[in-house]
Amino acid sequence: MANSSVLGYPRIGAEREWKRAIEAHWTGKLGEEELHRSLREIRLAHLRKLQAKGIDLIPVGDFSYYDHMLDTAAMFGIVPERFGYEGGSVPLSVYYAMARGTHSAAACEMTKWFNTNYHYIVPELGGTNPALTGNRPLRAYLEAKEELGIEGKPVIVGPLTFLKLSKGYEAAETDLWLDRLLPLYVQVLTELSGAGAKWVQIDEPILVTKLDEIDLTRLRRIFGTFSQAVPGLKLMLQTYFDSVEKYEEIARLPVAGIGLDLARGFGRAGNLAALREHGFPADKSLGAGIVNGRGIWRSDLEEGLALIEELKSIVPDDRLIVQTSCSLLHVPVSAARETKLPPELKQALAFADEKLDEVAYLARGGEGGEAARASSAAALEALRQSPARQRLDVRQAVEAMAAKEPKRGAPFAERRKLQAERFGLPLLPTTTIGSFPQSAEVRRARRLWRNGEWPQERYDAYIREQIDHWVALQEEIGLDVLVHGEFERTDMVEFFGEKLDGFAFTQFGWVQSYGSRCVKPPIIYGDVAYREAMTVKETVYAQSRTKRPVKGMLTGPVTILNWSFVRDDLSREQVAQQLAFALRQEVEALERAGIGMIQVDEPAVREGLPLKPAEHAGYLKRAVDAFRQTTCTTADRTQIHTHMCYCEFHDMIESIEAMDADVISIESSRSHGEMLSSFETHAYPLGIGLGVYDIHSPRVPSVEEMASQIERALTVLDPSLFWINPDCGLKTRGQEETVAALRNMAEAARRARERFAKS
C-alpha cells in the first residue's frame, strides 16, 4: 500500500472565516492576539480534517496570514527599507504593510503564481541583509505534533524558486544571493531535523519552466549543501503545474523524494514519458501527483488505479506516495454543501475535501471500494451526456464565426481620426477602469434583491441612485470618460456567467485570489450561449445622465475562461470561441443602443500563458483571436478599450498590440519602471494608459507622485495616445479614499496638459 500525501490545503475556511478575521484586524476590530488565536483555530481545524481523512503525510507550514512568498521573505528578514524595519522578528504591521502598502510606503509588487489565478507578493531583495528572523516551518511542525500528535511534513518554498520569483537584483548577482540564503535554509532544516521532523517538502515549481546549465549547477549546489548539512532528513523535491525540465539531471539530485505532476491535462504527458523512458532512481520515493489539485472534476478512479499499477512497475510500492498534483489552495473547500446545482454537475464535482478522499482511496489501491469506482464512472458519464453539452446551434454558429478572419474594418490610424471627431477628448484624457466602491449598503441591497425581499423595480431604482451619485461625482472631479460603476455586479466574471447558458454557480465555492480577496469562480460545464442583453440597461441609463462619453463594460472571453473552472471534454480554445461569440452579441447590442466606447477587459490573458516557452506563441495567437472575434464587428467610430492587470507584460507587447484595441490600460504602478522599459525598445502605436496609482493599497498617492508617473511614461509614449487612469477597478476601495485619489489624478493630468500646452 502506498502512502498518501497532500501538498497544501485551502487557508480560507469553509465559511471564509480566515478572510473575515484578517479583514477585521485590518479595520481595527480584532487585535493582534485575537487574530493569532482565530487563525490558530482555523489552522488546527484543517489539520484535524486531514488527519481524519487518513492522509499520511500532512502538510504543515503551508498556512499563511497572507501569502507564502511573503512569509518566506519575512522569515529571512527581506523587508524593503521604506517600511522602517530594524531587524529581528518582522512585526505583523510591517508584514501587512509590505502586502498592502501604507500612506507613506507603496506596497510590494503583486503578480501571478505561475499560470494560476493566485497572486503572490514579490520579494524585493535589493538593499536587504537576510537573516533568519524565526523558523516558521519549525513552529508549524511543533504545533501539529504537540497539539494533535501529527507528524507533519513542513512545506518550504525552495531557494531557486524564491530567487527566480524575486526582484531587486541583477541576474549576475543570483549566485551572490544564493550564498546569502543557503545558510539560512540550512539553519531552518537543521532545526527541523533536530526537532524530529522526518520529511520536508521543498517546493521548486520553477523546475517546470525553462532551465539552463547554470540553473542545474545551482540546483546541484543547493541540494548537495542540504544533503551534507542534514543527511538524516528526508527532502521531497516537489514540482507541480507541468512536467519537469531536465528530468534526468533532476532525478540525480541528492534528495529522498521527487514529486511530479501526473494529473490529466497538466504535467502528466511529459512526466509519464520521462518515467517510462528513463525509469526512476532506486534510492528515492516518487510523489505521484495523480489527483488534480487545480481542477474541480472528480477523478476517474479506474484510470487512477491503472496509472498506479503502471507506476508500481517503475517504483516499488513502499517508495510510492500518492498525492495531489499541487496544493489544494486552488480549489474550493468542499462540494458537500452545494445543493442548488444540476444533479449531473453536482455529482461530478470534487473540491478539496473530496480530493482528500480520492487521494486516500487511490493510495489504498482501491481496497474495498468497488462502489466508489462505479460511482465515479457513473457521475462522469452522466455529465458527458448532459443536454447542456449537446448544443448543436452553438457549435455550428461558432464554427461559422471562426471561419472568417476577425478584423476591424479600418486600421487604427483611420479609426483614431473618426473617434477623435466623435468624442472631442482633450490631450491626456482621464478615465477609470470600470468599478466604483461597493459599500456594505450596496451589498445589502443586492442580498435583499437576491433573497426576494426587494422586488426588481426597487432594486433597479436603487442601482440608478448609485449610478446618479457616481456619474455626478465623476463630472465634479473632472474625469473625461465616465463609467456607470458596476453596482449591479458581484464579480466581473460571475455577472456575465449568470446571464449566459452553459454556466453554473456554487454557493460556497470560494477560492483565494490574493491576500484576503476571495473569488467564487463560475463553472463552465456546458456549451456557452447568449440569451439577452446583459449590460445595456445600466450603461444606457448612465449615458443619459451625462454629456460625456460613458464606457460600456464587459469581461473578455479569455479572462472568463481563465477565471472559471472549465469543462475538460472540449479544448480551452473551443470554449474561448464560444465565449467570444456570445460576447460579440453583447458588444453589438451596446453599439446599437448608442454606446460609442466599449471596454472588453482581459486582465487574465497572461495568466493562462503556458509554462513552456514553446507553447507561448500558440496560446497568445488563440487569445488574440478570441478578443478580436469579440470586437471585430464594431464600427470604426466605436472605440474599443481593454484592460490588463496583475501580471508582467514586457514579453507580450506584440500580442497586446495585435489585439488591435483602440485603447489599452495596463496595471503598472507597482512595476512602472519595468513596464516602461518595454516601450523603450518597442514603440506602442495605439492608445494606452499605464495605471498611475495602485488601487490594491488603501493609501492615497499625492498629485506629485502621480505626476511623476505620468512624466516618466511620456518619455517613451506618445502624449497624443496616452490616457491617465488608476491601475484597476475601484470596487474594493472606500468612497472617501477613491474620491481623494481621483481628484489628485485629475489634477496631475491637468498639470501635465499645461506643460504640454506651453511646450
Q: b or e along 470-489 (b: 16 or more beta carbons within 10 Å of the residue's beta carbon)?
A: bbebbeebebbbbbbbbbbb
Residue 228 class from Cβ within 10 Å (0-12 exposed, 13-18 middle, 19+ buried)? exposed
C-alpha distances (whole Å) from 539 to each of 117, 488, 535 are 29, 11, 6
434 annotated as a binding-site residue: yes
Q: Judge contact between 127 and 168, C-beta under 8 A.
A: yes
Which has the closest alpha carbon to 237: 213, 266, 204, 263? 204
- The alpha carbon of 637 is separated from its chain's Cα centroid by a whole number of angstroms, namely 34
632 annotated as a binding-site residue: no
- The alpha carbon of 368 is separated from its chain's Cα centroid by a whole number of angstroms, namely 39
Sheet with 320-324: list strands edge to edge: 3-5, 320-324, 285-291, 257-261, 234-238, 199-203, 153-157, 59-60
DSSP 650: G
Which has the closest alpha carbon to 222: 320, 133, 156? 156
CA 214/CA 211 separation, integer angstroms: 8
17 annotated as a binding-site residue: yes
CA 66/CA 177 separation, integer angstroms: 25
> Any idea which residue has 493510495 for its cell?
363
744 annotated as a binding-site residue: no
Supply φ then ψ for residue 126, to 5 degrees.
-55, 130
Roughly what angle, to the nearest 10 degrees, separates helices 352-363 and 32-52? Answer: 40
C-alpha distances (whole Å) from 369 to each of 302, 303, 311 are 11, 14, 20
Q: What angle do CA 653, 655, 661 make, to 5 degrees?
A: 95
117 annotated as a binding-site residue: yes
16 annotated as a binding-site residue: yes
724 annotated as a binding-site residue: no
How would you classify the pairing of strands 517-519 and 511-514? antiparallel
729 annotated as a binding-site residue: no
How would you classify the pairing of strands 199-203 and 153-157? parallel
Residue 157's SS3 state is strand
520 annotated as a binding-site residue: no
433 annotated as a binding-site residue: yes
Q: What angle do CA 121, 124, 130 make, to 5 degrees?
A: 115
Q: Judge contact between 671 and 109, C-beta under 8 A.
A: yes
486 annotated as a binding-site residue: yes
667 annotated as a binding-site residue: yes
112 annotated as a binding-site residue: yes
Residue 237 corresponds to which cell in the numbers above?
523535491
Q: Judge contact between 487 and 438, C-beta under 8 A.
A: yes
CA 635/CA 332 separation, integer angstroms: 42
338 annotated as a binding-site residue: no
Q: Judge contact between 266 and 293, C-beta under 8 A.
A: no
151 annotated as a binding-site residue: no
Check 68, 119, 641, 696 and give the catalytic one. 696
Residue 597 corresponds to which cell in the numbers above?
466606447
404 annotated as a binding-site residue: no
CA 668/CA 713 separation, integer angstroms: 10
Report how many helices (DSSP H) and strands (DSSP E) the chain contains, helices first.
27, 21
Residue 525 corresponds to which cell in the numbers above?
460545464
CA 64/CA 374 separation, integer angstroms: 38
CA 253/CA 10 separation, integer angstroms: 30
Residue 472 corresponds to which cell in the numbers above?
455626478
647 annotated as a binding-site residue: no
Q: What angle do CA 304, 305, 311 make, to 5 degrees?
A: 90
DSSP 615: G
728 annotated as a binding-site residue: yes
Which has the closest alpha carbon to 73: 126, 25, 29, 141? 126
C-alpha distances (whole Å) from 155 to each of 150, 321, 328 are 15, 16, 13
309 annotated as a binding-site residue: no
Among this protein's residues, is 119 annotated catalytic?
Answer: no
540: how many CB neighbours lie within 10 A of its CB? 17
Q: Summarize the annotated binding site for L-homocysteine as residue ranges.
A: 433-435, 486, 601
Binding-site residues for L-methionine: 433-435, 486, 601
* Active-site annotation, residues: 696
| Binding site listing for 5-methyltetrahydropteroyltri-L-glutamate | 16-19, 112, 117, 517-518, 563, 607
Which residues does the annotation place in the binding site for Zn(2+)? 643, 645, 667, 728
